[in-house]
Amino acid sequence: MGFEVRVSEHAIARFKIAAVALATWPCARLIWLATQGGLGANPIEYITRSTGWWTLAFLMITLSITPLRRLLGWPWLARLRRTVGLCAFAYALMHFVIYLWLDQFFDFAAITKDIIKRPFITVGFTAFLLLIPLAVTSTNAMVCRLGGRRWQQLHRCVYAIAVLGVLHYWWLVKKDLREPILFALLLTLLLGARILRVNRAASAAPNTE
């Protein structure tokens, strides 16, 4: 399906740069708003929410690359996957540091209590911890060192991370679930596409043997 688009190494490098440039926009916007006093009455809440929202958004974009690649028949899209994934990690890191610093002021006793006692923080923290090995192993050298298969197995963690991330958002809102529901539906679609494909492959397998 789709049409063949040949993309040079040069173009892929440019796409990567463009992706990173676009990904810095939400962060640049926050900095701009901060200098203009545009973050509202509770700036720390605003930047916490915003970086969290963008973490989820970049996770969703990362997870949509493979289905899109198959749908459009653009194999080169896969080359952007790690770049976008790293952008998700960058926002998760900002989100986490804001929590540690501006929300809890490095009060590690309170933070530990929070992580243990508050389910939404427990799942958010778990998702962040799981993201770290993925970010660390995102270089070409690491892919080679681990070997393609093991690398891929490790990076399947992103499915759990996305589920935990959406749950984190779902559990924190006071009442209005509209946005968490949208993320959950999108994630269901993205993971559902993979499950369907695996099932189809499994049922097709006996015939080919």
Partner 1 sequence: MRDSFIADLRPGEITPREVYESRRQFLGRALNGALLMGSGVMGWGAREAQAGVKLQGIRKGAITLKEPLTPLKDVTTYNNFYEFGTDKSDPAQNAHTLKTRPWTLSVEGAVKNPRTFDMDTLLKLAPLEERVYRMRCVEGWSMIIPWVGYSLSELIKRVDPTSSARYVEFISLSDIVQMPQMKHGSLDWPYMEGLRMDEAAHPLTLLCLGLYGEVLPNQNGAPVRLVVPWKYGFKSGKSLVKIRFVEKQPTTTWMRAVPEEYGFYSNVNPAVDHPRWSQAKERRIGEFGKRPTLPFNGYADQVASLYAGMDLAKFF
Residue 168 CB, nearest approach to partner 1 (Å): 11
**Nearer to partner 1 (CB atom), residue 114 or residue 142:** 114
Cβ-based nearer residue to partner 1, 43 or 67: 43
Residue with tokens 């976008």: 84
Q: Which of 21, 110 has the CB closer to partner 1?
A: 110
How distant is the alpha carbon of residue 92 from its chain centre? Answer: 8
| Residue 13 vs 177, nearer CB to partner 1 | 177
CA distance 68 to 72: 6
**Shortest distance in whole angstroms from residue 94 CB to partner 1:** 18
Structure tokens at 129: 């911890």
Shortest gap between Cβ of 138 and partner 1 (angstroms)? 33
Query: Cβ(126)–Cβ(83) under 8 Å?
Result: no
Span between the terminal Cα atoms of the chain, in Å: 25
Contact footprint for partner 1 (CB under 8 A): 40-42, 44-45, 102-103, 105, 110, 113-114, 117-120, 171-172, 174-176, 178
Write the CB contacts of 64 (distance below 8 Å, at least 6 apart in sequence).
190
Smallest separation, CB 86 to partner 1 (Å): 30
